[in-house]
Amino acid sequence: MTILDATVPTAQTGMPVRSPMVRFLGRSGAFWRLLARGAVMLMFTLGIYRFWLTTDIRRYLWSSTEVAEESFEYTGTARELLLGFLIAIAVLVPLYSAFFLLTLTLGQIWSVLSIAALTFLGQYAVFRARRYRLTRTVYRGVRFHQTGSAWRYSVYAVLWWMLILLSLGIAYPFAQSQLERFKMRNTFFGSLAGRFDGSGWHLFVRGLVLWALAVVPFAIGAVATILAIDWNTLISAAPGDDKASWLENSGLAGAVVFAALTGLWLLLSFAVLYPAFQTMVLRWWVSGLRFGDIAVDSRLRMSQVFGVYARFLGYALVFTFVVSVALMIGALALAAVSRPLDASYKEIVTTLLVLGAYVASALGYSTIYQATVKLGLWRCVVETLDISNTAVLEHVTAAGEPASPVGEGLADALNVGGI
Amino acid sequence: MNAPEMGISPVAARGIFFDGRTAARQEVAVELASAALRLRADDGTILAEWGYDELETLSAPDDVLRLGRAGNPSLARLEVKDPQLAAAIDERSAPVDRTGRIERRLRDKVIFWSVAATLSLVLVAVLGVPLLATALTPLVPYPLERKLGAAVASQARASLDNKRTGSAFECGNTENEHAGRAAFDKLLAQIEAAASLPWPLTVMIVRRPEANAITFPGGHIFVFEGLIKNADTPDELAGVLAHEVGHVAHHDGTRTVIQGAGLSLLFGVLLGDFVGGGAVILAAKTILRTSYSREVEAAADTYGVTLIARTGGDPRALGTILLRIAGTTHPGPKILADHPDTRDRVAAIEATATATPGARRALLDQTQWAALKAVCSRV
C-alpha cells in the first residue's frame, strides 16, 4: 500500500533510502533509439540483425528491472542466438524437404502429418527457448535454470490447446494453470525451487463474464447466419438462374447482414475486451508465481493496460498519416521519373519501391508496438509488483548450467518466439 | 581500516559483491592495487583479486558499473555505483567498457558483415539461382516432374476455381460440350504428334474468362475459356498451344518451381521471414520473372512457330492472336499492345515463320471449329 504511494527516490547514495521492492529503471527514450536503429538495420540486412536486436532488447529489459535494489542481468549473446538458428536450419531443412517429398509421392495425408509434427516441434521449441532465457538470466551472481522434458511439455501443451479450441475457450484457464505449473515446477533460481500457485478456477470464475461477452454473441450470430440461409434453395438453385432472385430466395442477403454484424461485434469486443482479458490473465499469472518462500502479488489495473494500448493507437495513427503522405509523394515522383523507362524495368522499380514501403511500414508498426505495448506492459507489470520474504535471497546457493540456444533457434525458425 | 600498502593507489571506495556461490549481498571495500582489483570484506579478509586485464563489463542499469571476471565459470559480480571509482577502474583496465565504445566498434563490424552477407545473398539470388535451376532441371526424373506438375496444377486450380459459377471448373464434360472437347483433342493430337515429346500432355480447358494458358511442370496445361473465345481460327489456338508445348519441352515450369524453391530457401529459411508474408521472396520472384521471362517466352515462341509449321498450320497465327489479346494476362509479364515487347515478339514470330516454309492444310473443319468454340457452353 505504502509502496504505491511512495515517491520514487532519485539519486541513490550510500544511505539506504526507503525504495520500492520492485522498480523499473529504464528510460523509454533509450529503448526507442535501440528499436529504431534495429529496424533500420533489419531492413538493410534482410533480418540477419535480429539476433543482435533481440539481445539488445533483452539486455535493456532485464537490466532495467530491479528487485530488492538489485537489477537483473541478461548474459545471452547474439552469437549464441545465431548459433541456435543455424542448428535449427540444420534440423529443419532436411525435415521440410522430407515432408515435401513425402507429400508429393505419398499424398496429402503427409502435409497434415507435417503440420502436426511442426506444431509439436514448435511447443518443444517454446520450452527449450524458455530454458535458454532462464539460464541466461543472472540475479545477484546466481543464475536461473529449468529442468524437465521439453517433449513432455510439448505433448501437454498441444493437448491442452486442442482442448481449448474444442471447448471454445472454456478450458483456457485450466490449460494456463496446468502449463504454468509444469513450467514453474521446473524453474529454479539457484537452489530455490519455483512453483505456481494460481488456480485455474479463480481465472475461470473471473473470466466467465468476458467469455460470455465475447463468445455468446458470436455463437448467436453464427447460428443466425446459418439459419437465415435456406440451404435447400441454395443447393438446388440452378447456376444459370437470375442472381438477384437466387440471393433473395436462399436468404443469403439476410445471412450476410448477420455475418457482418457478428464480425463487427467480434472486432469491437476484441478491441475493448482484449486489454481487460490481458490485465486479468497477467495479474493472475504474476500473483501465482512463487520461489520458495518468496511470494509475488500484482496490483495491475485495467486502466493501465488500456492506457498502454491507447498510446500504441496514437503513435500508430500518426505513423500511418506520415507514411501515407510519403507514399503519395513517392508515387507522384515515381510516375514522373519512370515514364521514359522500359516497361519491365518499370515493373522492377515499382516492385522494389512497393516492397520497400511495405517493409518500412511493417518495421515501423513493429517498432511502435514494441516501444509502447511490449515495454509499456513490462513496465506496468513490474511497477505494480509486491514481493515478500526477499530475505530468503541471502541463503540461495548457485546451481544450474547454461543451456544450449537450440530452442531459441527453432522458435525463431518456426515463428513461435516469445520475448 | 588498514594502512595503505606499497603500490596501492589512494582510490578506495565501496562496492557490492556477489561471490557467485550464493546470492548473498556483501558490501566490500574496493582497492585499486597496481595490477588487480582487490575486494575486501569489512572484517579485512580478501574476497577476490581480479587482474585488470581479466575484467569484463556486464549489462547493467545506466548508473551501475557491473564487473565480472572474463572466462570465469562462476558468476561472481562486483557492482560499482560511485562514478569516480568506476572511472578509475575504467582508466586502469583495457577491457572495461564503461562508455560502450568497444561494444560499438564490435557492433559496427557486425553491421558491416551482415550488409555484405545480404548483398552476396541478393547476388546469388539474381545470378546464381537461375543458373542453378537451369542446371538442376534436366536432372529431375520424369515421374517426379509429373507429380510436381499435378500438385502445382491442383493448387492453381484451387485458386482459380471460385465455384460460384455453379458449373464444373473443367469444360468439355457435359453432353453438349463433348463434341467441342473431341475437336480440341483432334487439334491437340496433331500438335502432339508433330512435337513427338517423350511423355503425354494433360490439357484441361478451364472455365475462366481471361485469354490465357498456363503450363505446369510435367506436361500439365490449363487452357482458359477466354482464350478459345478470343481465337478466330483453329490456327491461332493451335499457335498458343504450340507455344505452351514449347514451355513443356523446355521444362520451363519445372525450372520456375526449382527457382522458387531456391529463393524460398535462400530468403525464407536462411534469413527468416522478418516481416511476414514472404515479402522478399515475392519481390525476388517478380524481378526474376520479369528479367528472365523474355528469353523464355521467345524460346517458346520459336518452338511453337516451327511446331505449327510442321503440323501444316499457319505459323503466323500466334502473332495475330498475341496482338489481339495483348493487354490481358498472359504467362510472364503483362503485355500492353503498344509495348515494344509484344511488337518485338510478333516481329520475331514473323521472321521465324518466314524462315520455316511448309505445306498448309486446315487443322480442323468448320463444324469441328464451331464445336470447339462452344466447348464451354455448359448444359
pLDDT (tens digit per residue) in A204-254: 999 998 888 877 777 787 787 777 776 666 665 554 445 556 556 666 667
Report pLDDT for B50. Answer: 93
Residues in chain B with CB shorter than 8 Å from the CB of A143 are 75
Residues in chain A with CB shorter than 8 Å from the CB of B286 are 347-348, 351
ipTM (interface predicted TM): 0.79
Report whether pLDDT(B277) > 70: no
Report the pLDDT averaged over residues A279-297.
95
- CB neighbour class for A205 (10 Å; exposed up to 12, middle 13-18, buried from 19): exposed
Say yes or no for a CB contact (<8 Å) between A343 and B114.
Answer: no
A12, closest residue in chain B (CA to CA): B81
* Reduced 3-state DSSP string for chain B: CCCCCCCCCCCEEEEEEECCCECCCEEEEEEECCCEEEEECCCCCEEEEEEHHHEEEECCCCCCEEEEECCCCCCCEEEECCHHHHHHHHHHCCCCCCCCHHHHHHHHHHHHHHHHHHHHHHHHHHHHHHHHHHHHHHHCCHHHHHHHHHHHHHHHHHHHCCCCCCCCCECCCCHHHHHHHHHHHHHHHHHHHHHCCCCCCEEEEECCCCCCEEECHHHEEEEEHHHHHHCCCHHHHHHHHHHHHHHHHCCHHHHHHHHHHHHHHHHHHHCCCCCCCCHHHHHHHHHHHHHHHHHHHHHHHHHHHHHHHHHCCCCCHHHHHHHHHECECCCCCCCCCCCHHHHHHHHHHHHHHHHCCCCCCCCCCHHHHHHHHCCCCCC
Report pLDDT for A7. Answer: 40
B67, closest residue in chain A (CA to CA): A141
> Which of these, B140, B148, B315, B313, lies nearest to B217 by C-alpha position?
B148
Report pLDDT for A339. Answer: 67
Pick from A393-402, B151-160, B190-199: least confident: B151-160
- Name the pLDDT band for A325 (thresholds 50, 70, 90): very high
Residues 6+ apart with CB under 8 A from A395: B22, B23, B24
Q: What is the mean pLDDT of chain A?
A: 85
Say yes or no for a CB contact (<8 Å) between A89 and B270.
Answer: yes
Report the pLDDT averaged over residues B248-269.
81
- Name the pLDDT band for A342 (thresholds 50, 70, 90): low
- Name the pLDDT band for A319 (thresholds 50, 70, 90): very high
Residues in chain B with CB shorter than 8 Å from the CB of A33 are none
Residues B324-341 pLDDT 10s:
877 544 444 343 333 457
Candidates B14, B39, B59: best to mutate against A (most CBs of A within 10 A) is: B59
C-alpha cell at A186: 521446473
Pick from A30-39, A331-340, B143-152, B180-189: least confident: A331-340
Report pLDDT for B175. Answer: 84
Report pLDDT for B292. Answer: 65
Say yes or no for a CB contact (<8 Å) between B23 and A138.
Answer: no
Report whether pLDDT(B344) > 90: no
Judged by phi (left if over 0) then psi (alpha if -120 to 50, else beta), residue B331 lies in beta
Report pLDDT for B334. Answer: 41
**Residue A404 DSSP symbol:** P
- pTM, rounded to two decimals: 0.77
The percentage of residues in chain B with a pLDDT greater than 70, rounded to a whole number, is 84
Report pLDDT for B177. Answer: 86
Report whether pLDDT(A148) > 50: yes
Report the pLDDT averaged over residues A346-360.
77
Report whether pLDDT(B373) > 50: yes
Q: Does A15 touch chain B (CB under 8 A)?
A: no
Candidates A28, A45, A82, A137: best to mutate against B (most CBs of B within 10 A) is: A45
Q: Which residue has the cell 488500456?
A: A306
- Name the pLDDT band for A18 (thresholds 50, 70, 90): very low
Report whether pLDDT(A131) > 80: yes
Pick from A135-144, A163-172, A409-418, B236-245: least confident: A409-418
The percentage of residues in chain B with a pLDDT greater than 90, rounded to a whole number, is 26
> Which of these, A68, A394, A143, lies nearest to B24 by C-alpha position?
A394
